[in-house]
Chain A
Amino acid sequence: MTDTTKTQPATRGLIPLPEAAARGLLLAGGIATAASAFLAWTWTSAFPGDLTINGYPGGLQWLTFTAGLLTTLFALALYGVRGLGWLLPARNNAPLALTALGGFGTTWFTVIAISNKLGGVVNLEPGGWIAAIASLLPVIGAFALHQQGVGEGSVKESIKAYLTKPDSIPAAQPLTPWLERAVITLVTILGLGVFTYGIDTEYGELFIGYLIVVAFSLWALNTAGLNDRFSRLVAHNRSFTLAMGFLAAIAFPFTQTDDHYANIGVNILIFGTVALGLNIVVGLAGLLDLGYVAFLGVGAYTAALVSGSEFSRFSGVQFPFWAAALTGAAASLIFGVLIGAPTLRLRGDYLAIVTLGFGEIFRIAVNNMDGDSGPDITNGPNGIPSIPDLNFFGFNLGQSHDIGGFTLGRFANYYLLMVLIMAIVVLVYTRAADSRIGRSWIAIREDETAATAMGINGFRVKLIAFALGASLAGLAGTVSAHVTYSVVPTPYQFAGSTPPNSAFLLAAVVLGGMGTVAGPILGAALLYLLPEKLVFLQDKSLLAFGIALILLMRFRPEGIIANRRQQLEFHETGQLAVPEQTTLTDEPATATKAGA
C-alpha cells in the first residue's frame, strides 16, 4: 500500500470512479462539510449546544467543522499543494479515509441524536440535511481513490487495505534544534487545547462527538506517519518534552473558569498516579495485582487519621502535609511488604487471586474497625469526615486565590499539588525502570526461571516492586483524602462503576499501554471521563467497559500507547522511542467506546 496510486495502473478504487473525480469529491466534500457547520441544523435550542444559528457553529458543529477542515487539508496535501507535503509523507490514502470517516461519524451522530432527542427527522433544518450529505461525499471520495490490494479479496479486506498504515514512512528532513522544540511546543499547546476541550464538554453528546473526531484524527495522523516522526523529535528532546508536558499540566487550571473541571482534573491525576504506581507492579514486574486500590486506601486513611480531623481516632494529632504524605507512603509500604511477603512466593493466577483477597480484606477490616466489631480506629462505615484543608505557609488550599488575574479555586490548588506528586511519581517510575533493578523486574516478567539463573533474587526484587508501587499509591492517597474531605471504605473495592477501584486501575494500565509512562495516565483519563461524561450510561457503564476492553484486546492488544519494546518488534533499526505525550496517539479504542 505504500505506493502512490498514480504509478500503479492496475490498482482501482473500491467505488468505481475516475481518480480525478475521487480527489475532487474529497476536496469538495471536505470544504462542504466544514462549511455546513455554519448552517442551522435544527429549529430549536432544545438540543444542547444551540445548533439553530446560521453563520456561526455551535457545540457539535465545531467538531464537524474541525473534521471537515482536516479532510480538506489532507486532500490539498494529496493534490500536492506546496507547504502541505509534510502532512502526507507517504502519500497514502489511509489518513484521508480516516478523517473523512471521522467527519462522517460525528456529523451523522449529531443528526441522528437531534432526530432521536427531538422526536423525528422533521426537526432537522435543511442545514442538517446538507451537513449529512456533505459529510458523506469525502467518504465516497476516499474509498474511490485507487488503492493497491483492493478488489483482490473480500470487501472487508479492501476496506482494511484503505485503513492500514504503510510499512515504511519516508524519513523526515532533519530540523534545526530550535525548530524541533518549536514543533514540540506547538504540539503540546494543541494537545492541551484538545484535552481541555474534552474535559470541558458539557453534555454527553458533545463528548461522544469529541471522542469520534479525536480518535479518527489521531488514527489518521498515525497512519500518515506523523506520529512516528513526532516520536523521533521527542527522542531527541526527551527532557524538553517532559518539561513541556508538565508546563501544560500546570497550565490546565489557568484555562478553567469553573472549579468543577479542576475537580475532574485532580481526580484524573490521582487516578493516573495510582495507575502509574500499579504499572510498576503489573507493567514492569509482571505481577498481576487485583487488590491494588487497598494501598490507595491505606494512604488515604493514614492521612485522614493524622490530619487533625475531629472524627479521627487521633483527633489531637495534626501532621504537616509533608509528614502526613511520608507517613501515608510509609504505611502503604509496610502494608505492601506485609501483603507481598507471603503472596509473592506464588506465581501468575495464584498471585492474582491472593491479592484480590487481600484487597477485600482491607476494605472489610476498615469497615469493621468501628469499636463494635473491632478496635476503634477507622470509624467503620461512617469513615473519617471533615478532613481539614491543607495549609502551606499560610496558603490555604481550601480557598480561592487570585494569581495574575486568574482565579484558582480549591480544586485547582489541589490539582497543582497533585501535578507535583505526579511529577515525583513519573520521575521515580522512569528512573527505576531504566536501571539495574528495572531490568531485573522486566527479566522476572519475561522468564522468572532464567532470571533467577542469572543471579536475580526473584522474591526480593518482586517485593521491592510491590512495596514501591504500594508506597506511590499511598502517596496519592494522602492527597485524595484532603481533596474529598472524607474517607470511607466503599471506594476501595475490587470492582465498581466509578473509579478508583482495582478493576478500573488495572483496566487503565492495560488500556493505556503496559510499561509506558503516558499509557496509564491516558488510560486513567479516559476511564475517569467516560463515566463522568456519559451519565446516561450509568448502570450500563460496566457492560460498556467490558465490551470496549474486549474490542481493544482483539484489535490492539498492546494498549493505546505501545511500549518501546513492542515498537522495536516491528522496526529493526532500533531508532524508536517512547511517545511521551498523550497528544499523538493511535486511538481506535476510544472510537469503539464511543460507539459502545
Chain B
Amino acid sequence: MSTMTTPVLEARNVTMRFGGLTAVRSVDFTVNSGEIVGLIGPNGAGKTTFFNCLTGLYVPTEGTVSYKGTVLPPKPHLVTQAGIARTFQNIRLFANMTVLENVLVGRHTRTKEGLWSALLRGPGFKKAEKASEERAMELLEFIGLAHKRDHLARNLPYGEQRKLEIARAMASEPGLLLLDEPTAGMNPQETRATEELVFAIRDKGIAVLLIEHDMRFVFNLSDRVAVLVQGEKLVEGTSEVVQADERVIAAYLGEPFEGEPGEAEAAEVAAAEAEAAAPSTTSTKGEGQ
C-alpha cells in the first residue's frame, strides 16, 4: 500500500511560536493515503503542539496545512469537516453522554438537520436520525462496544474509553485519523488489540497518523516514522532507518561523553543500543520484557 503516493495531509514549513518559545520549527510533513505514519519524539519535543497545528486548535505562526490539496482553515470544526478527525492524549469523551450519543456527536459534520427540522420533525429528520444511528451502531460493532450503547461514557473502563474515542472520531468519516497516544495507560493485551484496530482502520482506507511513546507499537505499525526533537523534524523514514539513526538515540538517551570512554567504545555502545533502542526508551508500559 505504500506504493500509492497521493498525499492526504501536507504540512509545509509549519512553525509555532509561543512568545519567545518556538515549539515547532519549520516542519514539512506528508501523510499519503493508506499510510500509517508514526510521530515520535522525547517529552516536550512539540508533538502535541504540532498535532494541534494540524487540527486547527492552534493557528500556526508560519506555514500551511493542506488536506488533499486544499489548504485548511485554522478552525477545528472546519478541519473535521474537511476530513481530518482526531483523538486526544488525555481522553476527552463527553462523559455524561451515552456511548451511542458520543458517536452520534461525531456524525455532526456529516448530517445537516438544523433546529427547524428538529422542531418540525418531518420525514427527512426521522430518516436522517435513523441513518445516523445505524452508522453509529456499525462503528460500535466495529470497535466491539455495541452491547454498551446505552452506558454512560464515564462508566466505561479505560481501554473502552480509548476505543470509543476512536469510534467517535471515525464517525465523522475522515480520510485521515490522528491518534494522540492511543495506547497511553494500556496493558500489553490492550495495546495489541489497539494495534489490530489501527490496522483495521487502515484497511477501511483511512490514513492514520499517530503519536506514541510505546516504541514497539509504533515500529510495528508504521509504514513511516518521523522523529520530532525540540520542535524540529530530525529524521523521517521506515522503522529500520529511524531505529538505526544515531541522532535519534542521542535525542532519547543524551549525547555520549565527548572522547571520555574513547570514540570507538562509544560507537560500540551506540550500535548495541541501536538494536535495543526501541524498547528501552521513555515509555514504561508494555516493554522491558
Whether A453 and B114, one on each chain, are in contact in the complex, defined by CB atoms closer than 8 angstroms, is no
Q: Of the candidates A443, A449, A566, A569, which one forms a contact with B105 in the assembled complex, judged by CB atoms under 8 Å apart?
A: A443
Query: Nearest Cβ in chain A — how far from B73, in angstroms?
Result: 12
The yes or no answer to A172 lying at the interface (CB within 8 A) is no
The proximity string for A residues 426-458 relative to B, scoring 1 for CB distances below 8 Å and 0 otherwise, is 011001101111111011001101111111111
Whether A436 and B108, one on each chain, are in contact in the complex, defined by CB atoms closer than 8 angstroms, is yes
CA distance A509 to B169 in the complex (A): 33
Whether B94 and A436, one on each chain, are in contact in the complex, defined by CB atoms closer than 8 angstroms, is no
The yes or no answer to B243 lying at the interface (CB within 8 A) is no
Whether B77 and A446, one on each chain, are in contact in the complex, defined by CB atoms closer than 8 angstroms, is no
A contact patch SS: helix
The size class of the interface chain A forms with chain B is 20 to 34
Closest-by-CB residue of A relative to B120 is A431
The yes or no answer to A565 lying at the interface (CB within 8 A) is yes
Query: Nearest Cβ in chain B — how far from A440, in angstroms?
Result: 6
Query: Nearest Cβ in chain A — how far from B3, in angstroms?
Result: 32
Given A442-B94, A565-B152, A574-B151: A454 in contact with B172 (beta carbons within 8 A):
yes
Whether A431 and B121, one on each chain, are in contact in the complex, defined by CB atoms closer than 8 angstroms, is yes
Given A453-B76, A453-B86, A455-B109: A437 in contact with B118 (beta carbons within 8 A):
yes
Whether A450 and B88, one on each chain, are in contact in the complex, defined by CB atoms closer than 8 angstroms, is yes
The yes or no answer to B61 lying at the interface (CB within 8 A) is no
Given A447-B94, A568-B152: A454 in contact with B105 (beta carbons within 8 A):
yes
CA distance A514 to B113 in the complex (A): 25
CA distance A468 to B96 in the complex (A): 23
Q: State how many residues of chain B have any CB contact under 8 Å with chain A.
A: 44
Whether A443 and B152, one on each chain, are in contact in the complex, defined by CB atoms closer than 8 angstroms, is no
CA distance A453 to B154 in the complex (A): 19
Interface residues of B in 6-58 (CB under 8 A from A): 55, 57
The proximity string for A residues 563-587 relative to B, scoring 1 for CB distances below 8 Å and 0 otherwise, is 0011011001010000000000000
Query: Nearest Cβ in chain B — how far from A573, in angstroms?
Result: 8
CA distance A455 to B94 in the complex (A): 14
Residue numbers in B under 8 Å from A483 (CB-CB): none
Whether B94 and A446, one on each chain, are in contact in the complex, defined by CB atoms closer than 8 angstroms, is yes
CA distance A457 to B108 in the complex (A): 10
Residue numbers in B under 8 Å from A450 (CB-CB): 88, 92-94
Q: Of the candidates B86, B94, B118, which one forms a contact with A432 in the assembled complex, judged by CB atoms under 8 Å apart?
A: B118
Whether A442 and B97, one on each chain, are in contact in the complex, defined by CB atoms closer than 8 angstroms, is yes
Whether B113 and A455, one on each chain, are in contact in the complex, defined by CB atoms closer than 8 angstroms, is no
Query: Nearest Cβ in chain A — how far from B20, in angstroms?
Result: 25
The yes or no answer to A464 lying at the interface (CB within 8 A) is yes
Query: Nearest Cβ in chain A — how far from B233, in angstroms?
Result: 24
Given A438-B118, A454-B105: A569 in contact with B77 (beta carbons within 8 A):
no
Residue numbers in A under 8 Å from B150 (CB-CB): 568, 574
Beyond A431-B121, A435-B125, A454-B80, 16 extra complex contacts between A and B, CB < 8 Å: A431-B118, A436-B114, A436-B128, A436-B132, A439-B97, A442-B94, A442-B96, A446-B96, A449-B76, A451-B94, A453-B57, A453-B80, A454-B169, A568-B150, A568-B151, A569-B154
Q: List 9 A-B contacts (CB under 8 A).
A: A436-B129, A436-B132, A451-B105, A454-B109, A454-B169, A456-B108, A457-B77, A574-B98, A574-B151
